[in-house]
Amino acid sequence: QAEKQTLGFQTEVKQLLHLMVHALYSNREIFLRELISNASDACDKLRFQAIKHPALLEEDPDLKVQISSDEKANTITLEDNGIGMDREDVIANLGTIARSGTSEFLKQLTGDQKKDSSLIGQFGVGFYSAFIVAEEVVVETRKAGTAQADGVRWTSTGDGEFTVEPLEKAGRGTRITLKLKEDAKEFASSFRLRNVIQKYSDHIGLPIQLLKETEEKESEEATQEWETVNKANALWTRGKSDIKDEEYKEFYKHVAHDFEEPLTWSHNKVEGKQEYTSLLYVPKRAPFDLYHREAPRGLKLYVQRVFILDNAEQFLPLYLRFIKGVVDSSDLPLNISREILQQNPQIDSMKSALTKRVLSMLEKLAKDEDKYQEFWKEFGQVLKEGPGEDFSNREKIAGLLRFSSTQEDEQKVSLAQYVERMKEGQDKIYYLVGETLAQIKSSPHLEVFRKKGIEVLLLTDRIDEWLMSHLNEFDGKEMVDVARGDLDLGELDSEEDKKAQEEASEAKKDLVERVKKALEERVSEVKVSTRLTESPAVLVMGAGDLGVQMRKILEAAGQ
Ligand code: ADP
Ligand code: MG
């Protein structure tokens, strides 16, 4: 085992490397953000493990990241004294992509730089982004707690293979050396480097240090001086007024592993019985695996500023799984585990408070219609899971939903707006579910509503029927499916309408009997109705029948 070995990258890594270098060319400096982000994560992980095993810190307890460059040699070096990796870790982390759905994702990439760069951004390139600027990357690392002789050197030119070999390494942690490509030389310039690092490190909670330039290079090593260039306070612990929007945005990219800026955020300190700080973000774009069961989701959990867990799912309900951010508790025990999180009344009450926090952040966002549309297009379908999952916030969630209607093709109509537009005498919210907008817009069920000028919500998303089965009313108004049961328009029907209906029933008695006979068991009832103004007949579902979408879902599931 302890020898030099050449291994091939997993196919997905090869594909990603190839596409990424091209797609992200005009955004090359982000490799620094990714590497600093990883170094910071590595220090976080070590600090966490050191709670139980203080010996891991050896004689080197001050966690930090040091960066230097050599303009002559055309290299950049990043070194952290974090958790480090052993040979196995290196092969797994820097040779494969473990995320499920990766190959499906890669198939979406087209070679079109603009499209691909935004897709890759959603996916997150991480460590591999080093190859955007480097012709060769060398990673020298030693896992905390292992012997000096157990270090590993990983080397690759990003062409499909990498080598691993044993390495004697004095300090624990990871040193990454990039041999820059000819056209990426600029990053070795200390001026450029400092600039980029400052941009990407201010929000990082540990010192990021740059090598000070010394006039005389004779005495070398002995007089190396490092200068901390960032604030080195965890961003969320600082006062709101002290944090620039730019910093909030950069911090988001770090926690969310996202390239794009967030749509909005909410930063709050809670004091009292429970004390914690939360910083929650709404992303601009949905991740490619929003609907994957095993996709990572949840918040980053800190206790008293010590990183504890990634993807802590217990702090938000499933229908808010797209929210990213951190929660830092002052009173949870430092040795808390995923298992303990699962059944802890304190966590439950934080969850309910954080849920409310997110819902009000969305309410605020909804005041800006354009921005909210952006949000709705990405995450509306997920939010529609809300009423079924979260009974206690049903009305609040309902207020955040947007629908198409007979007056608006796009999903823009809020229930509040609908209610405002209701006709005199109307006391119900009408809706119709179907496959496509074009199809339901020509449905005979809408005829009577058109005639009376009543708006009907038009629902065509897969989840809509399920949503409506959990949303019986809004603002005290019953939600009524116009394709079901007897249509009682209440006061919207004038006396004349009702009289005409009775007369028609009487007059068409024979016809109804004949139709009933002809259709026999295929329908359960034949009735004369005022639903239609033009079409001669329409099929209506019973009030308790399964809807079309539900039937399809069940059929697909083999029921
Ligand atoms: P991500 O950060 O999203 O997990 P990356 O591609 O950036 O993905 O990194 C892959 C993995 O490699 C990390 O999850 C981590 O396990 C490991 N890794 C990367 N950089 C370091 C580092 N400086 N120290 C320790 N482990 C690292
Ligand atoms: Mg990373």
Per-10-residue mean pLDDT of the chain, 559 residues long, equals: 88 88 85 94 95 93 96 96 97 90 82 78 85 97 97 96 97 98 94 90 91 68 82 92 94 90 97 94 91 88 91 95 96 85 89 97 97 97 96 96 96 97 93 93 90 94 93 94 77 72 75 76 71 69 68 66
Neighbouring C-beta atoms of residue 421, cutoff 10 Å:
13
Q: Which residues pair with 357 in a beta bridge?
A: none
Distances (CA, A) of 179 to 183, 513, 541: 12, 87, 69
Question: What per-residue confidence (pLDDT) applies to 118?
Answer: 76
Q: Which residues pair with 89 in a beta bridge?
A: none
**Of 459, 449, 439, 455, whose CA–CA distance to 531 is shortest?**
449
pTM: 0.83
Question: What per-residue confidence (pLDDT) applies to 241?
Answer: 95
Question: What per-residue confidence (pLDDT) applies to 74?
Answer: 97
Q: Exposed e or buried b for every residue in 336-348, given b needs 16+ CB within 10 A?
A: beeeebeeeebbe
| 122 appears as a binding residue in the annotation | yes
Contact between residue 533 and residue 523 where contact means Cβ atoms under 8 Å apart: no
Task: State how far the Cα of 95 lies from the Cα of 128, in Å rounded to an integer.
Answer: 9
For residue 326, give both structure tokens: 């951190």
| 124 appears as a binding residue in the annotation | yes
* For ligand 1, atom 4: residue with the closest CA: 126
* For ligand 1, atom 16: residue with the closest CA: 93
Neighbouring C-beta atoms of residue 366, cutoff 10 Å:
18
* For ligand 1, atom 23: residue with the closest CA: 39
Contact between residue 375 and residue 362 where contact means Cβ atoms under 8 Å apart: yes
Q: How far is CA 137 from the centre of its chain?
A: 30
Determine the distance separating the centroid of ligand 1 and the alpha carbon of 229, expressed in angstroms.
23
| 101 appears as a binding residue in the annotation | yes
Neighbouring C-beta atoms of residue 450, cutoff 10 Å:
12
Task: State how far the Cα of 289 lies from the Cα of 99, in Å rounded to an integer.
Answer: 9
For residue 177, give both structure tokens: 């050396």
pLDDT tens, position by position, 243-252: 999 999 999 9
Contact between residue 536 and residue 511 where contact means Cβ atoms under 8 Å apart: no
Q: Exposed e or buried b for every residue in 459-469, given b needs 16+ CB within 10 A?
A: bbbebbbbbbe
User: Which ligand neighbours the alpha carbon of 37 most closely?
Assistant: 2
In the block, residue with structure tokens 């994957």 = 292
Question: What per-residue confidence (pLDDT) applies to 218?
Answer: 60
E-strand stretches of 143-172: 151-156, 161-167
If you write DSSP's letter for every residue of 47-96 in order, what string do you get?
HHHHHH-GGGGTT-----EEEEEETTTTEEEEEE-SS---HHHHHHHTT-
Task: State how far the Cα of 323 lies from the Cα of 386, in Å rounded to an integer.
Answer: 14
User: Which ligand neighbours the alpha carbon of 92 most closely?
Assistant: 1
Question: What per-residue confidence (pLDDT) applies to 219?
Answer: 59
Q: Which amino acid is at 9?
A: F
Determine the distance separating the centroid of ligand 1 and the alpha carbon of 413, expressed in angstroms.
44
Q: Which residues are near ligand 1 (CB < 6 Å)? A: 34, 38-39, 41-42, 80, 82-85, 93-94, 124, 126-127, 174, 257
Determine the distance separating the centroid of ligand 2 and the alpha carbon of 138, expressed in angstroms.
17
Q: Which amino acid is at 392?
A: S
ipTM surpassing 0.90? yes
Task: State how far the Cα of 121 lies from the Cα of 285, in Å rounded to an integer.
Answer: 10
| 111 appears as a binding residue in the annotation | no
In the block, residue with structure tokens 């220090």 = 43
Task: State how far the Cα of 251 lies from the Cα of 271, in Å rounded to an integer.
Answer: 23
pLDDT tens, position by position, 497-548: 777 777 777 777 777 777 777 777 777 777 766 666 666 667 777 766 667 6
Task: State how far the Cα of 380 lies from the Cα of 394, in Å rounded to an integer.
Answer: 15
Determine the distance separating the centroid of ligand 2 and the alpha carbon of 48, expressed in angstroms.
18
Could you tell which of 24, 32, 40, 41 is best to mutate to test the pocket of ligand 1, judged by most ligand atoms within 8 Å of the CB? 41
